[in-house]
Amino acid sequence: MNSDQFLSVGIDIGTSTTQVIFSRLTMEDTAGYFSVPRVSIVQKEVVYKSPVHQTPLANEYLIDGDAVREIVAAEFRQAGVTPADTGTGAVIITGESARKENAALVLEKLSGFAGDFVVSTAGPDLESVIAGKGSGAQQYSEENAAVTVNLDIGGGTTNVILFDCGEARDRGCVDIGGRQVRLDADMTVTYVSPSAARIARFHHLSLETGRRTDLSVLKSLCDAMAQLLEELLGVSEPSPLLEEIRTAGSTPFSPSRPIRAVCFSGGVADCIYQSGKDPLQYGDIGVLLGDSIRRGRLFSAFRVIPARETIRATVVGAGTYTTSISGSTIAYDPGLFPLKNLPVLKLSQEEQQRCFAGDREFLEQKARWFLSQCDSDHMVLALDGKKSPSYGELLSLAKTVAAALDPLLPAGLPLILAVHSDMAKALGQCLRQSLLSRRPVISIDSIRVEQNDFLDLGKPLMNGLVIPVVVKTLIFG
C-alpha cells in the first residue's frame, strides 16, 4: 500500500498571542487494486508546538510585521524545519489583530514560510466556528446529540458558536477579553479598550489610562463582563449595553435552541478552569475575568464541559487534507485547472431545500456573508444533493444558484459546485443554460466536504473523465 508524509505548518496571530505548530500527516492510498485510487490521511501527529508568544505591536493600532516574522523564523529554526520542508500550511489573524490596519502586510511578510495559506484573516463569525472545533465543543455536540455553545475568550474578543448535534447553527462575537484593561505593577492603568471604557461608564466605575486603580474596581468590571456573557446566552434579559459591545461585522448571537452545555476556550479559559492564580499575573484582567465567569451563573445554568484545547483552540495546526477523485458524471469548462484554496460554503439539508424551492435572496445573503468572512472573492458551493432529482428540480436549483452567485463573483471566475450525490453533470448543464455562458462552470460530484473546508482542484485525469480533489480541513493541535 503506497503511503507518503507531508509536513504542515500553522501560524496563529491573535490579539494577545502568536503561536506556531508543525504537524506530520501520513497519507495512504486506501483503495483496492481494482478501484479508483483514493488517498486519505491515516495518521496525524503534532511534532512541534511553539511557546505562546505575546503578539508584537508597533503601537496601539499596528501589528509589528517584522517582529512577527522574526518569531516565526525563530520557531522554524527551533523546530529544525525550513520553508521548503512544508507541504502545506495555514495562517490566521484573529480577534482584534484582524482589525489592525496592516494585517494584509503581515500576511505578505509571512508568505515565504508556507506556500499556500489556507486562511488569511478570519472574520469574527468564522473564527467562532474554528475555535468551537478546536476546543472540542463541536465534537461533544455531535457525539452527545447536545446543543453546545463554545465561548472562545481571548485578549480582545469573545467568539460564541452554538452547535446542534455537531452542526453550527448560531454564532456571534462581542468585545470582551482579558487584555481589554492592562496595568503596570503598581496598578497604574496603561490601556483601556473602548469596550471596557463603555462598560465601566455604564456601571459608574472610575477607570482611566494613566491613573491607578484597585482590585475592587477591576473585579466589578469583570463581574459586569461576565453578566454580559450570561445575557448573551439567555441566562438573563439582555441590557442595551450588550448590543453596544457587539464586535463590528459580527452576527448578533441569538440561540435558536435551548442550550445544554457550555465549553470555554481562548487564553481566559485557563483562568476559568483553573483557580488560585495571582489576579494580576499577566498584567491584565484575564485572571479576574476568569474568576468572575466561574463564580457566575453560566456554571449553574448549563453543564460546563472541559475543553480539549484552551489557548490553542484557534491555532490552525495544519491543513489536513484528503485527496479524492470526483465522480465521472461531472461538468466543467476546459482550461480552468488547477485551482487552489477555494473556501467551501456548505448548505444544510434545510438550506438546500430552500434553494431547490427558488429562494434566491436567502442564498445571496448567505454567500455574501461567507465571502466577507473568508476575505475571498472565490468560493465553492457544496450541497448533498438529491437522489434522482427531476429535470424541473435541477433547473429550479440552477436558476437559484446562478441568480444568487453570478452578481457576487468577479467576471471570469467560474461558478463552482461540489455535490455529494450523482447529479453534478445534469446540474452543470442547467447552470450553463441559466448563466447564458456569462461565466465558466465547474460542477463535480462524489465529494463530501464540510463548512470551513478548502478545495484544491487538479487537472482532469483519465481523458477528462474525473478531477483529482484535495479537501483541506483545519486541524487543531
Does residue 317 fall inside a structural domain? no
Beta bridge partners of 390: none
| Mean pLDDT across the chain | 82
Residue 120 CA neighbour count, 13 Å, CB half: 22
- Select the highest-mean-pLDDT range: 62-66, 142-146, 452-456: 142-146
| Closest to 444 measured CA to CA, from 432, 433, 453, 457 | 457
- Pair (205, 115) in one structural domain: no
Domain count, the chain: 3
Distances from the Cα of 168 to the Cα of 129, 395, 451, angstroms: 7, 29, 9
| pLDDT for position 141 | 95
pLDDT in tens, 74-100: 999 999 988 878 766 667 776 666 566
Q: What are the tens digits of pLDDT across the range 148-167?
A: 999 999 888 899 999 999 98
Name the amino acid, one letter, at 235. Answer: V
**In a shared domain, residues 141 and 287:** yes
Q: Quick one: pLDDT at residue 36?
A: 47
- Looking at the structure, do residues 105 and 148 belong to the same domain, yes or no? no
Instruction: Decide if 104 is inside a domain.
Output: yes
Q: Which one has a higher pLDDT value, 35 or 146?
A: 146
pLDDT at 423 over 60: yes
Q: Is 227's pLDDT higher than 80?
A: yes
**Residue 215: its pLDDT value, please?**
94
User: Beta-carbon neighbour count of residue 315 at 10 Å?
Assistant: 29
Q: What residues contact residue 429 under an 8 Å CB cut-off, 6+ apart?
A: 331
* b/e per residue 59-93 (b: at least 16 CB within 10 A): eeeebbbebbbebbeebbeebebeeeebbbbbbbb
Task: Report the relative pairing of strands 147-153 and 53-54 from DSSP bridges.
Answer: unpaired
> Is 319 inside any structural domain?
no
Predicted local distance difference test score (pLDDT) of residue 364: 92
Give which of 369, 229, 208 is closest to 289, Cα–Cα: 229
Same domain, 93 and 175: no
Asked whether residue 37 carries a pLDDT value surpassing 70, the answer given is no
343 and 456: one domain? yes
CATH number for the domain harbouring residue 184: 3.30.420
Shared-domain flag, residues 297 and 349:
no
Q: Select from 258, 274, 305 the last residue of a domain.
A: 305
- Between 463 and 74, the more confident residue is 74
Contact 188, 207 (CB under 8 A): no
Same domain (yes/no): 288, 173 = yes
What backbone torsions phi and psi does residue 270 show, to the nearest 5 degrees?
-60, -35
Whether residue 355 is predicted with pLDDT greater than 80 in this model: the reply is yes
The model's pLDDT over 130-143, given as tens digits with 9 standing for 90+, comes to 788 888 898 899 99
- Last residue within a domain, chosen from 107, 122, 137: 122
**Does the structure show a pLDDT above 60 at 244?**
yes
Q: Is 341:454 a contact under the CB 8 Å cutoff?
A: yes
How far is it, in rounded angstroms, from Cα 175 to Cα 161? 15
Nearest 10 degrees: Cα torsion 467, 468, 472, 477: 170
Task: Evaluate whether residue 138 is within a structural domain.
Answer: yes
**What is the CATH classification number for the domain harbouring 69?**
3.30.420.40
User: Are residues 97 and 137 part of one domain?
Assistant: no
Residue 433 phi, psi dihedral angles, 5° rounding: -65, -40
In this model, does residue 374 exceed pLDDT 90? no
Whether 150 and 204 map to the same domain: the answer is yes
Whether the per-residue pLDDT at 21 is higher than 70: the answer is yes
| Domain containing residue 109 | 3-122
Mean pLDDT, range 369-376, rounded to an integer:
82
Residue 31: band (very low, low, confident or very high) from pLDDT cuts 50, 70, 90? low
Q: How far, in Å, CA of 430 to CA of 425, rounded?
A: 9
Do 438 and 344 share a structural domain? yes
Nearby residues of 454 by Cβ (< 8 Å), 6 or more positions away: 118, 119, 319, 341, 342, 343, 344, 471, 472
What are 278-320's pLDDT values in tens digits? 889 889 999 999 999 999 999 999 999 999 877 665 553 333 3
